[in-house]
A = this chain, B = another copy of it.
């Protein structure tokens, strides 16, 4: 966490600094990023940097955090917007996620943020806090889903369904961010895979 001094900074100066951070962390990864570049860009003396942050890592995490909030928001939206068709919602949000990450100057950083997100969401998913949140939303959610044609009955199962969807989401997103798959293609694949999930793989006795 940045030090109090950082938050005491007047807005202009802080913004300049944040911009410099984003620029440098977008240019290269954390370890190649140089504090010297940052302070040069932000036009602050070297010592000041350490007045604001513990170290490079600290600054990086701070910047990352701001994108982390996007993810949190995404997850929340996900839970809130999930009405009607769970799968349709997923596909829509998947596209939105990809597009929001793509339409930015700081692609590197976003990419990083995204890869990092896995850990974050993973944490969220395993943290007691979110489990509680889930528990609370569960009742409602289960209503929706029970109302549709899905075979989800217990909270346990819903939890695992979300986990599977998340896994598929993540892996398709990786293909976009790491392997340059086009968003359209990714969405198409994603949809296909969700359909398979929905339909299941066992042959119905006919």
Contact = CB atoms under 8 A, between A and B. Distances in A.
Interface of A: 31, 118-119, 122-123, 126, 149-152, 157, 160-161, 163-164, 166-168, 170-171, 174-175, 178-179, 181, 189, 192-193, 196-204
A205 to B, nearest CB: 9
A134 to B, nearest CB: 15
State how many copies of this chain the complex holds: 2
A91 to B, nearest CB: 15
A8 B170 CA distance: 43
Say what secondary structure dominates the interface of chain A: helix
Contacts of A161: 196, 201
B197 A118 contact: no
B150 A203 contact: yes
18 contacts: A31-B31, A118-B174, A122-B171, A122-B178, A149-B203, A151-B199, A151-B202, A151-B203, A161-B196, A163-B171, A163-B193, A164-B164, A164-B167, A164-B168, A167-B170, A198-B202, A199-B201, A204-B204
